[in-house]
Amino acid sequence: MPRQSIILTLDRIGSPVGEVLVATDGEGAVRALDFHDYEERLRRLLRRHYGPVELVQGRAPEAVRTAVEAYFGGDLAAFDGVVVKTGGTVFQQAVWAALRAIPAGETRSYGQLAAAIGSPKAVRAVGLANGSNPVGVIVPCHRVIGANGTLTGYAGGLERKRWLLAHEAGGRLI
Amino acid sequence: MPRQSIILTLDRIGSPVGEVLVATDGEGAVRALDFHDYEERLRRLLRRHYGPVELVQGRAPEAVRTAVEAYFGGDLAAFDGVVVKTGGTVFQQAVWAALRAIPAGETRSYGQLAAAIGSPKAVRAVGLANGSNPVGVIVPCHRVIGANGTLTGYAGGLERKRWLLAHEAGGRLI
DNA sequence: CGATGTCTCGCGGTTTTCGGACATCAATGA
DNA sequence: TCATTGATGTCCGAAAACCGCGAGACATCG
């Protein structure tokens, strides 16, 4: 069911774990964020939620660029003011909202997250929703780990998940 | 994939074969036309092609209203200048375009139509596409009949198909 | 013989249905 | 200790069903 395609700006920002792709809309809200080697995935997720998407290379709003650089530089609260906007089902929206409520430096298990949104048994569903989060890092899906402490999975690669958690732990062991 | 719903204006115009429903968009193009007793079908087809649709009661552009009244009054060329806009697959678009090329007063068989769009064997598929034409009467799906001359089917009811063809034959037998 | 009718089968898009797969986890039973 | 199972939301691909047909094979009937 084709509707006219939505147009987003795609910017690239350097980071210690590789270049980061950021897609922002006309109002400066972040619609997607992923690592450079997963550009295909980023496009797919956008298409899934919005239909045909046109990504034009360009510069994200300074506020967004600054926040990304600050975060990777160590300012873990840098994303607090950044506006993200997503499509997705009601369930997914709930999961992603719950993710943003996890403070940097802490983690939750998939079960805890499921309980937090009122569906304590929808544990695997939370995993799925997590995995189809279009806005990586800012919506911190990397802060969700297995009940027994293993990292389980991460769309950007477990290496990066480990790095992000260590970065947020600020030297403390995780 | 929920996008914000498209908004169309729904008007009702009297005709000798019952009230006619016309959905037009903001630019005055006709997006759907059907008979009053098939409103459900009209909504379904719109939804299929555009996703969620909001129909607000209102007046269609005068040009459209005039054309509809003129056609039923006997001016068979009244629709020539009317702009229609449809969704649908490539195949459906091809079929619907071919339909508009059939002059009033003439008919084609499903096979002829299939041949006209270059898929001589897609005969039943043409029937299907015909049956899911959202813009009745203006896109004259009623001008397609069986190879042996029988009327076969019509979404608005065979009675109306018969009436329309007689109307267009202008007194000649059909 | 010809006109007519009924049946059967193949045709080709589109829509629907269905069955997995999954970034889990707690409880069960061997 | 370890494999199994059930609960849950979503996506995706494959397969099946659906038809506004049409041509050909036969039967029937004056």
A111-159 pLDDT per residue, tens:
999 999 999 999 999 999 999 999 999 999 999 999 998 999 898 999 9
Cβ atoms of residues A25 and A71 within 8 Å: no
Residue A92 has a pLDDT of 95
Kindly state the tokens that stand for B40: 């459900």
Q: Report, in ranges, which bases of strand D sit under 7 Å from a protein C-beta.
A: 7-12, 18-23
Q: Quick check: B49 and A87 CB within 8 A? A: no
Dist. CA A149–CA A111, nearest whole Å: 12
Cβ atoms of residues B107 and B129 within 8 Å: no
Kindly state whether B88 is in contact with chain A, defined as any CB-CB distance less than 8 angstroms. no
Task: Tell me what the pLDDT averaged over chain B comes to.
Answer: 92
Does pLDDT of B171 surpass 70?
A: no
Kindly state whether A51 is in contact with chain B, defined as any CB-CB distance less than 8 angstroms. yes
Could you read off the pLDDT of B5-33 as tens digits, one per residue? 789 999 999 999 999 999 999 999 999 99
Kindly state whether A48 is in contact with chain B, defined as any CB-CB distance less than 8 angstroms. yes
For A27, B78, B138, the CA distances from B83, given in Å and listed in that order, are 34, 12, 10
Provide the sign of the torsion angle of the four alpha carbons A80, A85, A86, A89, taken in this order.
Answer: positive
Cβ atoms of residues A37 and A15 within 8 Å: no
For B13, B139, B165, the CA distances from A45, given in Å and listed in that order, are 44, 37, 49
Which residue is closest, via its CA, to the C1' of C15? B48
* pTM higher than 0.85: no
Residue B170 has a pLDDT of 78
- Pick the residue from chain A with its C-alpha nearest to B48: A1
Which residues pair with residue B24 across a beta bridge? B9, B30
Asked if A107 CB < 7 A from strand C, the reply is: no
The mean pLDDT of B139-163, rounded to a whole number, is 92
CA atoms within 13 A on the CB side of B62: 0
Kindly state the tokens that stand for A109: 């298990």
Query: Nearest nucleotide, C1' to the C-alpha of A95?
Result: D9
Asked if A93 CB < 7 A from strand D, the reply is: no
Does pLDDT of A2 surpass 70?
A: no
Give the 3-state secondary structure percentages of chain B, helix then strand then coil, rounded to 5.
40, 15, 45
Dist. CA B102–CA B141, nearest whole Å: 9
Asked if B92 CB < 7 A from strand C, the reply is: yes
Amino acid at B152: T
- Pick the residue from chain A with its C-alpha nearest to B5: A3
Measuring CA to CA, which residue among B75, B98, B84, B65 is closest to residue B167? B75
Dist. CA A165–CA A171, nearest whole Å: 10
Q: Report, in ranges, which bases of strand C sit under 7 Å from a protein C-beta.
A: 10-15, 22-26
Does pLDDT of B131 surpass 50?
A: yes
Give percent of chain A above pLDDT 90. Answer: 84
Residue B174 has a pLDDT of 47
Question: Which residues of B are catalytically annotated?
Answer: 141
Dist. CA A63–CA B132, nearest whole Å: 49
